[in-house]
Amino acid sequence: MASVIDIFCGAGGLTHGFVRQGFNVVAGIDVDAACKYPYEKNNKARFIHKSVSELRPDEVGALFVSGKPKILIGCAPCQPFSSYTYKLQYSDKWQLIDDFADLIVAIKPDIFSMENVPALVRYKGGEVFKQFIRTLQPVYGDDIWWQVVHTADFGVPQMRRRLVVLGSRFGPISLMEETHSSSEYVSVHETVGHLPEVAAGEVSDSDSLHRAQGLSEINLKRIRQSKPGGSWRDWDEYLLAPCHRKASGRTYSAVYGRMKADCPSPTITTQAYGYGTGRFGHPSQDRALSLREMALLQTFPDDYEFLDLEKSVCSFKQIGKLIGNAVPVLLAERIAESIERHLQEYGHSK
């Protein structure tokens, strides 16, 4: 059976897609120790707490099952390339992309996959991504496929675009065709509508992760005047924040909004539990998304655990980071399915 190692594994979104597709994921590696509990609890795979810059190719290679196809997957931290931070200046955070490429070349897995934000393709004039591809070509030649995909086209209930890269030593490889047309997109209501109602600041009795952040009195007034798909422009004048009254703030419409129940959600970020950080108002309840709703919109299963609540206190910031930084599980499944088909095409089993 082919074996899989996940670099920058986070809470396990990418790994879980491969697990659900029947792959043998032997380990996940991440610098954030908070990932250990959700990764191991939900995926029954080993978590290794280490930075990719400190990894030795031989120690990673030794984790693979000998004599079987080796698959290396990963999603390098994307903050330097995110559209939310694209205009900011970073020093060497993009170096992780180069570190990942160097690791792939040194290990020479039979198949590799990388998932990231689309802005990587144009970051620093596209040179970072071009260098990533050039580094890999001595091992994979021209059999490196990449494309920016719309996750809603694969059943993810988000208007989210992601960069997917695939390479194989067996031959040409690509991502499978889209599974959903625009008329078939999965909506917010279809995804979270089964959950019990909770008010701002409350926690569900049946699920400790189904908790919503509290709202100030003025934000409660604001969300009650917010329309699905709307923004702060729906409010009475006295509710406007000072920044919205300035000409420079008039262009920031993608904040303090409600989602539409019958459409996919906006991109789930690490702060999607906050009403003022984007269009994360619940379609009908006067609050922002709960942590469980964030996870479901990232297509994690209903029972995916992110924290050992017997030993730790639930933190919106910590859990929000684990969820928002994850690869949507369903997109990961489609990547895994594409690799499975590729293996079968060349006479290998997953």
Q: Is the pLDDT score of 302 beyond 70?
A: yes
Decide which of 125 and 310 is more confident. Answer: 125
Sequential DSSP letters for 242-258: HHHHSGGGTT--SSS-B
- How high does pLDDT run on average in the chain? 91
Buried/exposed 311-325: b ≥16 CB within 10 Å, e otherwise: eeeeebebbbbbbbb
CB 73 within 8 A of CB 18: yes
Q: Is the pLDDT score of 67 beyond 70?
A: yes
- Is residue 75 annotated as part of the catalytic site, yes or no? no
**pLDDT digits over 104-148, tens only?**
999 999 999 999 989 889 887 888 899 999 999 999 998 899 999
Q: What is the pLDDT of residue 242?
A: 77
Q: Is the pLDDT score of 82 beyond 80?
A: no
Q: Is the pLDDT score of 314 beyond 80?
A: yes
pLDDT over 90, % of the chain:
78
Q: What is the pLDDT of residue 252?
A: 56
Decide: residue 308, CB within 10 A, 0-12 exposed, 13-18 middle, 19+ buried.
Answer: exposed
Q: What is the pLDDT of residue 333?
A: 98
CB 290 within 8 A of CB 303: no
Q: What is the pLDDT of residue 234?
A: 87
Are β-strands 161-168 and 144-150 bridged in parallel, bridged antiparallel, or unpaired?
antiparallel
Residues 248 and 208: their CA atoms lie apart, in Å, by: 40
Average pLDDT over residues 215-225: 95
Q: What is the pLDDT of residue 253?
A: 61
Q: Which two tokens stand for residue 179?
A: 């599974």
Residues 50 and 177: their CA atoms lie apart, in Å, by: 35
Residues 41 and 169: their CA atoms lie apart, in Å, by: 33
Decide which of 290 and 83 is more confident. Answer: 290
* Degrees, nearest 5: CA angle 178-183-188: 95
Residues 286 and 326: their CA atoms lie apart, in Å, by: 26
Q: pLDDT-based confidence at 349, cuts 50/70/90? A: confident
Q: Which two tokens stand for residue 64?
A: 């693979």
Q: What is the pLDDT of residue 247?
A: 52
Q: Is the pLDDT score of 204 beyond 60?
A: yes
Q: pLDDT-based confidence at 90, cuts 50/70/90? A: very low
Average pLDDT over residues 73-80: 77
Report the SS3 class of residue 145: strand
**pLDDT digits over 236-266, tens only?**
889 987 766 655 445 556 678 899 999 999 9
* Degrees, nearest 5: CA angle 125-115-178: 105
Residues 281 and 226: their CA atoms lie apart, in Å, by: 8
With residues binned 3-state (H G I as helix, E B as strand, rest as coil), the percentages for the chain, rounded to 5, are: 40, 15, 45
- How many distinct helices (H) and strands (E) make up the chain? 11, 9
Residues 37 and 64: their CA atoms lie apart, in Å, by: 22
Average pLDDT over residues 179-196: 98
- Nearest-10 crossing angle of helices 13-20, 36-43: 0
- Which pTM was predicted? 0.93
CB 61 within 8 A of CB 94: no
Q: What is the pLDDT of residue 311?
A: 79
CATH number of 3-181+328-345: 3.40.50.150
CB 176 within 8 A of CB 338: yes
Q: What is the pLDDT of residue 246?
A: 58
Residue ranges per structural domain of the chain: 3-181+328-345
Q: What is the DSSP letter of 167?
A: E
CB 47 within 8 A of CB 39: yes
Helix ranges (DSSP H) in 81-209? 95-107, 127-140, 188-192
The residue from 78, 243, 263, 314 that is catalytic is 78
Q: How far is CA 90 from CA 111, 174, 269, 300, in A?
A: 31, 32, 19, 31
Q: What is the pLDDT of residue 277?
A: 87
